Amino acid sequence: MLLQIPDLLGADEVRDARAMLEAAEWVDGRATAGHRAARVKSNLQLPIDHPTARRLGDQIVDRLGQTPLFIAAALPLRVLPPRFNRYEGAGAYGPHVDSAIFPVPGTALRVRTDISATVFLSDPDEYDGGELVIDDVFGEQRIKLPAGHMIIYPGSSLHHVTPVTRGTRLASFFWTQSLVQSDQDRRTLFELDSAIQALSGDHPDHDAIDRLTNIYHNLLRQWSTT
């Protein structure tokens, strides 16, 4: 499932994050790429343990917990601490698939990358190029969102970032392990939940709401990997 989540960060939060990122020291993004991905990656990243990455990452995770649309769509079990990248000067990231498993820094935990996410921190008119291009069962999608907006998509998708030929593209990216591993099953649960919410809003006393809610939770119980 590919889903846009608007305004994960507000305008003031984006402005403050941008100021912190502009003051930070960046490193070659190839340092965190796998052997094959490193050959097609040309960008800058904050070190994972950089204080700015930790502070802004905690802020993003906090906002995720307050965003019903993300919770309903992702059914999150674990979220890998967000990372931050910077594209400029024709920087790009060629076609690649994200690693299936990532360790959580400083812990013995590992995260299965069911869902990939990008939070845009630069507005589209600030740079040319820099589209996130996702190729999956839903066809090729070219994504370039306003600052503060987020896109989530299956971690199994082949994707790339086109060259940034003007300006600077700042973004955060991270992965989520879902309670439900199958993207198709998550989509079914999300659509069922959305229908229940719509019915509850229009007909709050309808008898079908309880029956549909029961079906939702039974499916979640059946499909959950925990």
DSSP string, 16-29: HHHHHHHHSPPEEG
Torsion of the alpha carbons at 122, 126, 132 and 138, rounded to the nearest 10: 100
**114 and 209 part of one domain:** no
Co-location of 63 and 13 in the same domain: yes
Are 122 and 83 part of one and the same domain? yes
Q: Phi, psi at residue 43, to the nearest 5°?
A: -155, -175
The CATH number given to whatever domain includes residue 10 is 2.60.120.620
205 lies in which domain range? 183-223
Does the structure show a pLDDT above 90 at 138? no
Residues 213 and 158 in one domain: no
Among candidates 47, 39, 29, 75, which has minimal Cα distance to 169?
29
Q: Are residues 127 and 187 in the same domain?
A: no
Span of 74-78, 102-106, 149-153 with lowest mean pLDDT: 102-106
Q: Which residues face 111 on adjacent strands?
A: 102
Same domain for 187 and 87:
no
Which domain-ending residue is among 178, 194, 211?
A: 178
What CA–CA distance (Å, rounded) separates 126 from 83?
21
- Same domain? For 219 and 139 the reply is no
Beta bridge partners of 51: none
Domain identity same for 152 and 110: yes
Using the predicted structure, report yes or no on whether residue 122 has a pLDDT greater than 80: yes
Instruction: Give tens-digit pLDDT for 75-88.
Output: 999 999 999 999 99
> What is the domain-level CATH number for residue 198?
4.10.860
- Compute how many other C-beta atoms are within 10 angstroms of the C-beta atom of residue 51: 11
pLDDT value at 17 more than 90: yes
Residue pLDDT, tens place only, 25-65: 999 988 776 666 778 999 999 999 999 999 999 999 999 99
Domain count, the chain: 2
The percent of residues in the chain predicted with pLDDT above 90, rounded, is 92
Indicate whether 170 and 138 sit together in one domain.
Answer: yes
Report the amino acid identity of residue 39: R
Decide which of 201 and 138 is more confident: 201
